[in-house]
Chain A
Amino acid sequence: DVKVTQSSRYLVKRTGEKVFLECVQDMDHENMFWYRQDPGLGLRLIYFSYDVKMKEKGDIPEGYSVSREKKERFSLILESASTNQTSMYLCASRQGDPYEQYFGPGTRLTVT
């Protein structure tokens, strides 16, 4: 079974802090994704990566950056957290079309 794990299930940070969210997948997938999910807005793509050291902006990249130094690990960085970044963050991985995409359990981030 594909496994996607995220470093924290719940996180509380203060405004202005630098926040790291880490994601690891164990199926050697090429593609990895970071989404945020908010009530009424659905899933929105922040960034994705199709190879080591490669990254592409998604629909809402502002305020975020990413890092992919190893194939299995994809990190989301909030350089200076703000209250409007309070959300559920979901990581996913996928080999490619038409293969399945698998999600991690999510990180509920609260910025106070």
Chain B
Amino acid sequence: TQLLEQSPQFLSIQEGENLTVYCNSSSVFSSLQWYRQEPGEGPVLLVTVVTGGEVKKLKRLTFQFGDARKDSSLHITAAQPGDTGLYLCAGSLLIKAAGNKLTFGGGTRVLVKP
């Protein structure tokens, strides 16, 4: 069982539709990051959320950090084919043993069809 569970694992939608990706855990994170990765490339950082309840917007992307800092969501409005990719969430566990390592979710593969 992964510490950070992402759902769904795969999402296929038409251009113009909305989508939401979830990242859940029973553990508390001091911060959480979202990445998008395209085939054959490294993950690219989209956003970092730090405060419980925080909402950040990046154009058509809205990121939310849960009040208890155990979960996060990514919502894309009016998805475009350029949003296609693997979305990864990653968090810093609020325990000393974690050091500066990130814990990664399994990823959500998003396909936006024109």
- The chain A residues found within 8 Å of chain B, CB to CB, are 4, 30-31, 33, 42-43, 45, 48, 50, 56, 58, 90, 92, 94, 96-106, 108
The answer on a CB contact under 8 Å between A105 and B48 is: no
The answer on a CB contact under 8 Å between A33 and B101 is: yes
- Binary flags per residue of B89-112, CB closer than 8 Å to A gives 1, else 0: 010100000011110111100000
Q: Can you list 19 A-B pairs, Cβ within 8 angstroms, ordered by A? A: A42-B104, A42-B105, A42-B107, A43-B88, A45-B101, A50-B100, A90-B43, A96-B100, A97-B31, A98-B92, A100-B33, A101-B45, A101-B90, A102-B45, A103-B44, A105-B41, A106-B40, A106-B41, A106-B42
Q: Which has the most chain B C-beta neighbours within 10 Å: A99, A101, A102?
A: A101
User: Please, which residue of chain A has its CB at the minimum distance from the CB of B48?
Assistant: A100
Interface contact tally, CB-CB below 8 A: 54
The answer on a CB contact under 8 Å between A104 and B42 is: yes
Q: Which has the most chain A C-beta neighbours within 10 Å: B90, B104, B107?
A: B104
Measured between beta carbons, the chain A residues less than 8 angstroms from B48 are 98-100
Q: Does B19 contact A (CB under 8 A)?
A: no
Query: Does more than half of chain B's interface fall in helix, strand or loop, or is it mixed?
Result: loop
The answer on a CB contact under 8 Å between A90 and B42 is: yes
Roughly how many angstroms separate A98 CA and B91 CA in the complex, as a whole number? Answer: 9
